Amino acid sequence: MTTLSAPRSAPLPHAPALAINGGTPVFPAAVPFMHTALTQADIDAVNGVLKSGMLRAAKKCEELETRFAAMSDAKHYMTCANGTCALQLAYEPLFERGDDVLVPAWSYVATVSMVVARGGNPIFVDSHQDTMQIDMADAARKITPRTRAIAATHLYGCPVDIDAVQALASKHGLKVVYDAAQAHLSTYKGKGIGAYGDAVTYSYYATKNLGTGEGGAISCNDDALARQIKLLRSHGETDKYLHEQVGYNYRMNDLAGAIGCSKLDRLPADTAIRQQVAAKYDAILAKIDGLKAPTTTPGAVGVYHLYVVKLDTGRFACTRDEFCAALMKEGVPTAVHYPRSLSRQPAFAQFAGKQGHPPIADGLSKQIFALPMHHMLSGDQIAKIGEALDKVASAYRV
Ligand SMILES: Cc1ncc(COP(=O)(O)O)c(C=O)c1O
């Protein structure tokens, strides 16, 4: 959440008094940015597992795997400890140490850090100006004889241009991993995202659209790959204390599985509400000069893990952080995903140093902010968020 210093520039004289300057805020108390409360059904589901005493990955994880596979059009679906482990489990069988892997410069750190953990060399690809997703034209320019794979994030819950990813992958014989940590139940061209690529990874971190506290999953459609991922997930064990290969303990547990199954019961309905909230925000933003609603990839249906607005900084006498600080005072919390592009992360300096910084992703880090997004936002709250956006935008617009 942004809590930053007061604006450096005074609001224009005709603007309504901003709360940050002592005016009356739009909301007397801040509207919630997210909603993570458990329902009684979730608590009952966990109690059922507690009473059974079977805490390890068992029936509930299996149920989650079967149901989520069907709902995302994937053949195999394997739960695991978290979304970072999911990436590690997907990457390990699909490329080798020393391979170049195309990665988005604009994503959460894990998409890239697990490439590095695998021994791969991340090649940073810029973002598409409109969708903010990996730009496949830039990806095509960055292919070399050393490129072996593409890691693409369905960022903010919106699928990337999957046709373009798969076309580039087929042309150059590349493996594809989609990071869907934020994109549960999103679709592309009428199919669940589990239908595409070599593997798709998910996170069930507490704040995700389906949050179990910690947790994650990998889906794929290839039997041999699924077997390999299962072996890696649990010490390469093929029979009791028989270890065919070296692996990890990246298993989930049935308490998380129970929460996951219970939340999955209402995920389609909650997702539909997120999509309705997004449509209302789109309509509001269409009338506010200098603010741009997120653009969906053609053919994709996003699930709005985050609703991310772009501020045209040239149109305002304030920075993005100052704009968000003023919104916060009006009772509208925002968040920045992310304050720097991945090529700017110190952790990746040895790779990015030689490549330079993809300019669009760099620019996004200073332009974007996320609005409150969850299934409990009322029409009245959404309208008032619009009022606050308009109020702040009018005050700072030049
Ligand atoms: C795009 C993306 N990838 C990977 C992860 C990692 O997931 P986890 O936190 O479950 O390890 C996250 C979580 O924030 C994410 O947003």
End-to-end CA distance of the chain: 26
Ligand 1 atom index nearest CA of 111:
3
Cα(287) to centroid(ligand 1), Å = 33
Residue 202 Cβ < 6 Å to ligand 1 = no
Task: State the distance from the centre of ligand 1 to the C-alpha of 112, rounded, in angstroms.
Answer: 11
> For residue 142, how far is the Cα from the chain centroid?
24
Output the CA 216–ligand 1 centroid distance in Å: 9
378 close to 276: Cβ distance less than 8 angstroms: no
Query: Which residue, 82, 74, 49, is CA-closest to 259?
Result: 49
* 8 A C-beta contact, residue 258 and residue 46: yes
Nearest CA to ligand 1 atom 12: 181
> Which range among 12-16, 191-195, 331-335 shows the weakest confidence by mean pLDDT?
12-16
Give the Å distance between the CA of 293 and the centre of ligand 1: 23
More confident residue, 192 or 9: 192
Contact 343, 124 (CB under 8 A): yes
The pLDDT, as a whole number, for residue 9 is 55
Range of weakest confidence among 172-176, 272-276, 300-304, 394-398: 394-398
How would residue 357 be classed by pLDDT, with cut points 50, 70 and 90?
A: very high
Q: Tell me which residue has its CA closest to atom 5 in ligand 1.
A: 83
Sign of torsion, CA 180 137 166 275? positive
- Is the pLDDT assigned to residue 3 strictly greater than 60? no
- Judged against a pLDDT cut of 60, whether residue 112 lies above it is answered with yes
Residue-level pLDDT at 383: 98
The pLDDT value given to residue 353:
87
pLDDT at residue 98 is higher than 50: yes
How many C-beta atoms lie closer than 10 Å to residue 317's C-beta?
A: 16
pLDDT band at 15; cut points 50, 70, 90:
low
Which pLDDT score is estimated for 293?
Answer: 98
- Answer yes or no: is pLDDT of 292 > 80: yes
Mean pLDDT within 166-190: 98
pLDDT higher than 50, residue 2: no
Q: Is the CB of 110 under 6 A from ligand 1?
A: yes
> pLDDT at position 4, please?
41
Q: Which residue segments constitute the domains of the chain, with CATH numbers given?
A: 19-35+266-396 (3.90.1150.10), 40-262 (3.40.640.10)
Distance from the CA of 174 to the center of ligand 1, in angstroms? 23
Q: Across the strands, what pairs with 335?
A: 370
The model's pLDDT over 18-46, given as tens digits with 9 standing for 90+, comes to 999 999 999 999 999 999 999 999 999 99
Q: 319 CB less than 6 Å from ligand 1? A: no
* Mean pLDDT value across the chain: 96
Kindly state if the Cβ of 107 falls inside 6 Å of ligand 1. Answer: yes
- Nearest alpha-carbon partner for 12 in 25, 21, 4: 21
Which residue puts its alpha carbon closest to atom 8 of ligand 1?
Answer: 83
Query: How many percent of the chain have pLDDT more than 90?
Result: 95
Amino acid 1: pLDDT: 43
pLDDT at 48: 98
Residue 354 confidence (pLDDT): 87
Indicate if the pLDDT at residue 105 is higher than 90: yes
Residue 214 CA, ligand 1 centroid: distance in Å: 10
Tell me the mean pLDDT in the region 384-389.
98
Ligand 1 pocket, 84 CB below 6 A? Answer: yes
Regarding the beta carbon of 156 and ligand 1, being less than 6 Å apart is answered no
Task: Kindly tell me the number of DSSP H helices and DSSP E strands found in the chain.
Answer: 12, 15
Pocket probe for ligand 1: among 34, 87, 201, 203, the residue whose CB has the most ligand atoms within 8 Å is 203
pLDDT tens string 211-261? 999 999 999 999 999 999 999 999 999 999 999 999 999 999 999 999 999
* Residue pair 192/72 in contact by the 8 Å Cβ criterion: yes
- Residue 6 has what DSSP assignment? P
